[in-house]
A = this chain, B = another copy of it.
Amino acid sequence: MLSERRLEVLRAIVQDYVGTEEPVGSKALTERHNLQVSPATVRNDMAVLEDEGYIAQPHTSAGRIPTDKGYRLFVDKLAGVKPLSSPERRAIQNFLEGAVDLDDVVGRTVRLLAQLTRQVAVVQYPSLTRSTVRHVELLSLAPARLMLVLITDTGRVEQRLIDCQEPIGDAALADLRARLNSRVVGERFTEVPSLVQDLPDAFEAEDRGTVSTVLATLLETLVEETEERLIIGGTSNLTRFGHDFPLTIRPVLEALEEQVVLLKLLGEAKDPGMTVRIGHENVHEGLSSTSVVSVGYGSGDEAVAKLGVVGPTRMDYPGTMGAVRAVARYVGQILAES
């Protein structure tokens, strides 16, 4: 176990390095933070920290920079989550309240997050797995052609075209619509299959085929739309990544283009609270010099999706975490209201 002061030294190193982007030496440390000890003592502590793998030197006789392990300790033990100032909070709320629909909410959120953290923001669309059905609509577009519209409680609308083998009468269609809604409205997606299972039995033989087709399409839509979508923003912040550009930035941009990668990235964060993945903790190798701060958000108690930011491992963790958490909360509120 590291002594109190050594932890303090580590914290100081992280803070300084994050601020200056330059390796930090013992002398500068004692000057900028009042550690009450001499540079020599700090040097000894640094030697220990280096032995333990928390910091490293780019080369002999340079200052130290934190390792991934060092950041990990910093995040876990040394740093809290920095709450946002109240003007910031107000700004968030005002900005998000202007949104007119779900797309707009998500769009604003990603811009907001990118701006607040000055990093790349990732926002997942509210997932449908935990969602409930608000309404199911069936429209007759042509004699043997239906359109199924599914509206979720998160405000998302999905539609599917259905080609039936045989035309269905208006009365039967209205009946189906009514029965369908009375059974599934307010229910969770996962419950729907068992709830509609026996619906065809209530119809005349001639309509059963069509009813089954409709139900199959509905279930399919529920499953398909569970594959979450997401959007990203603030990629221009990548230019503030480091000095050695192309090599660093390239794999990150590539990773960001792969929605699959990002979804996995957010999905891995199982933690009920905030999750911070630092450097090599990210399995995707293109992101080995980045950290990902993510958190779930939702309209109620449960998280329906995740959002977060991607930035250099050398990032302001407390500030970033504060911004991410605050944004998640406000988005949750907005979603709950609408």
Contacts and interface: CB of A to CB of B under 8 A. Distances in A.
Given A147-B135, A159-B157, A257 B239 contact: no
A91 interface: no
Contacts of A253: 235-236, 238-239
A141 B134 CA distance: 8
Contacts of A135: 139, 141, 147
Interface in A216-269: 233-236, 238-239, 245-246, 249-250, 253-254, 256-257
Contact of A235 (B100, B151, B235, B338): B235
Contacts of A151: 139, 147, 149, 159
Contact of A157 (B141, B149, B245): B149
Majority-rule SS of A interface residues: mixed
A171 B85 CA distance: 52
A18 interface: no
A157 B157 CA distance: 8
A105 interface: no
A139 B178 CA distance: 12
B245 A101 contact: no
A304 to B, nearest CB: 18
A234 B234 CA distance: 15
Contact of A137 (B100, B137, B238): B137
A196 interface: no
Copies of this chain present in the complex amount to 2
A89 interface: no
Nearest to A107: B259
A337 B160 CA distance: 15
A149 B156 CA distance: 11
Interface in A275-323: none
Interface in A167-190: none
Contacts of A149: 137, 149, 151, 157
B101 A160 contact: yes
Contacts of A7: none
A209 interface: no
A234 B338 CA distance: 35
A83 interface: no
Nearest to A234: B257
Contacts of A147: 135, 151
Contacts of A256: 235
A234 B258 CA distance: 10
A138 to B, nearest CB: 10
Contacts of A134: 141
B250 A239 contact: yes
9 contacts: A100-B160, A135-B147, A139-B151, A149-B149, A155-B161, A161-B338, A233-B257, A236-B250, A236-B253
Q: Shortest 6 CB-CB distances between A and B: which pairs?
A: A236-B253, A245-B245, A239-B250, A157-B159, A236-B254, A239-B246
